[in-house]
Amino acid sequence: MHYHSTRGTEFINFDTAIQSGLAPDGGLYVPEKFPKLDVKALAQASYPVMTEALLKPFFQNSAIESQLSDICHQAFNFPTPITALNAHTPLLELFHGPTLAFKDYGARFLAECMNRLAKQKTTLMIATSGDTGSAVASAFHGKENIQVVILYPQGKISDRQAHQINCWGDNILALAVNGTFDDCQALVKAAFHDPNWQAYTHLSTANSINIGRLLPQMSYYALGSLYYWHHYGANARFVVPSGNLGNVTAAYWAREIGCPIAEIVVATNANSVVPDYLRTGEYQPRASVATLANAMDVGHPSNFERLQYLFKNYDTFKKNMSAFAVSDAEITATIKDIYQRYNQVICPHTATACFVRNQLSDEPWIVVSTAHASKFEQVIEPMLNITLPIPDALNRLLTKPQHFIPLEADEKIIFNTVKRYFDAL
Ligand SMILES: *Cc1c(COP(=O)(O)O)cnc(C)c1O
């Protein structure tokens, strides 16, 4: 299997694609083809075994091809239950990993691959405004060939989110930057262009454009579609809460490789660039606005380019996707309604998909549930006037001591701090 950029035709293998993240021409890596697999034959397989079977063709020519089974077993050592909100609304629960959000799937798989591929000590730099940081920190903690630097804006993420980034230590360095998320991102970008960094270490990143995060996400769509086939005897319908469109890109790729999927619908929050595009035909990225579903606050979704590459033109795009924007008021009403009706607490991201589901047909729709509600207690608790129990997995992280270094948003200070920390390790 070869990969190439959405903007070019130069072929590379899987290993280069995941080690470089973004293509040199600024595009995103995509597989050269999607082999058709007999997905229904995997109905009885365990999650790691199913993932291995689905990803096998994508690992052809990789130096770690023979380790794919180990990689899948190490990465996916937690359950992926499918529950039901009601008889025609199954919930695909993607929040049973160590940091309770679906980003654990991509981050854990990427960590297993990158650690095995690293020929020299590799430093990952990540700017985060919340969820990605904790998933990446958890996934890479203790990986001997990788050191991770996480920059987050001090005081601008919740205490619980900060704690989940600060609780690791060892090869995970948490930097609490006196600045904004944009400052953190600018510092990461600057490092990639700085000869001091190049001389010191091999720099890489682990953000959601990395194809090593997207490919394994096809697997839970396989699981969901097989469940749907088994229970309803038809091709599956999914509603996917979306921001950067990585999760939903994996859904379309899953359909490409033969998962029995009929329809995929995108739910966004008030950041409505995708619904607006489908309505008007004009793609107009813009600054993001803050919403209750903050992990989806994206005004310029990076994976749009992969979808555009897949669909080729607006007409095909429109034929294959519908998208709906959901306001904060609608998110709130949905969380309250589901709590009253089903005594179930959903997270604000999942709520966008539940709201959209209610606008759709009476046919069964699988709602993709992207995070555990207890991660967003600051939104949920006052809204429902309850105290959410803290799941054991989260409690384990929140009771660990915190290690982080507060510092100014200054490139030189960051470089010296990182070097001093890892040299002393
Ligand atoms: C990141 C995230 C999303 C959005 O996923 P994309 O792949 O960026 O579209 C939705 N929900 C939660 C909880 C997330 O953390």
Q: Residue 319 corresponds to which amino acid?
A: K
Neighbours of 302 (CB within 10 A): 18
Query: What is the b/e burial string over 4-33, where b = at least 16 CB atoms within 10 angstroms of the residue's CB?
Result: bbbeeeeebbbbebbbebbbeeebbbbbee
User: How many Å apart are CA 97 and CA 183, to the nearest integer?
Assistant: 30
pLDDT exceeds 90 at position 192? no
Q: Lowest-confidence range among 25-29, 78-82, 255-259, 401-405?
A: 25-29
Domain annotation for the chain: domains and CATH numbers: 82-101+213-390 (3.40.50.1100)
pLDDT of 189: 86
Q: Strand pairing partners for 84?
A: 90
**pLDDT confidence band for 193 (50 / 70 / 90):** confident
Tell whether ligand 1 has an atom less than 6 A from the beta carbon of residue 288: no
Instruction: Give the tokens for residue 210.
Output: 């990395």
pTM for the whole structure: 0.96
pLDDT of 142: 97
pLDDT of 184: 92
Q: Strand pairing partners for 368?
A: 92
Q: Residue 354 corresponds to which amino acid?
A: C
Mean of the per-residue pLDDT values of the chain? 95
- DSSP type of residue 239: E
User: How many Å apart are CA 105 and CA 392, to the nearest integer?
Assistant: 19
pLDDT exceeds 80 at position 208? no
Which of 92, 96, 244, 374 has most ligand 1 atoms within 8 Å of its beta carbon, as the pocket-test mutant? 244
Atom 8 (ligand 1): residue with closest C-alpha? 244
What digits encode the pLDDT tens for the residues 226-282?
999 999 999 999 999 999 999 999 999 999 999 999 999 999 999 999 999 999 999
pLDDT > 70: what percent of the chain? Answer: 100
Instruction: Give the tokens for residue 25.
Output: 């021409």
Residue 194 Cα to ligand 1 middle (Å): 31
What digits encode the pLDDT tens for the residues 32-78?
999 999 999 999 999 999 999 999 999 999 999 999 999 999 999 99
3-state class of 151 per DSSP?
A: strand
Instruction: Give the tokens for residue 313.
Output: 């033109």
pLDDT exceeds 90 at position 207? no
From the alpha carbon of 103, which atom of ligand 1 is closest? 15
Residue 102 Cα to ligand 1 middle (Å): 7
Atom 15 (ligand 1): residue with closest C-alpha? 295
Nearest to 98 by CA among 403, 378, 372: 372
Tell whether ligand 1 has an atom less than 6 A from the beta carbon of residue 247: yes
What digits encode the pLDDT tens for the residues 73-109?
999 999 999 999 999 999 999 999 999 999 999 999 9
β-strand pairing of 122-127 with 146-153: parallel
pLDDT of 136: 96
- pLDDT, average across residues 183-208: 88
User: How many Å apart are CA 247 and CA 131, to the nearest integer?
Assistant: 14
What digits encode the pLDDT tens for the residues 341-382?
999 999 999 999 999 999 999 999 999 999 999 999 999 999
Residue 242 Cα to ligand 1 middle (Å): 6
Nearest to 155 by CA among 386, 409, 350: 409
**pLDDT confidence band for 182 (50 / 70 / 90):** confident
pLDDT of 330: 98
Residue 247 Cα to ligand 1 middle (Å): 7
What digits encode the pLDDT tens for the residues 274-307?
999 999 999 999 988 999 999 999 999 989 999 9
Tell whether ligand 1 has an atom less than 6 A from the beta carbon of residue 243: yes
Give me the sign of the Cα torsion angle 81, 271, 276, 184.
Answer: negative
Tell whether ligand 1 has an atom less than 6 A from the beta carbon of residue 246: yes
Which of 131, 273, 352 has most ligand 1 atoms within 8 Å of its beta carbon, as the pocket-test mutant? 131
- pLDDT, average across residues 112-129: 92
Task: Please return the burial class of 106, using the count of CB atoms within 10 Å of its CB with bins 0-12, 13-18 and 19+.
Answer: buried
Give the full edge-to-edge strand order of the sheet including 366-369.
Answer: 82-86, 89-93, 366-369, 236-241, 261-268, 321-325
Decide which of 314 and 127 is more confident: 314
- DSSP type of residue 210: -
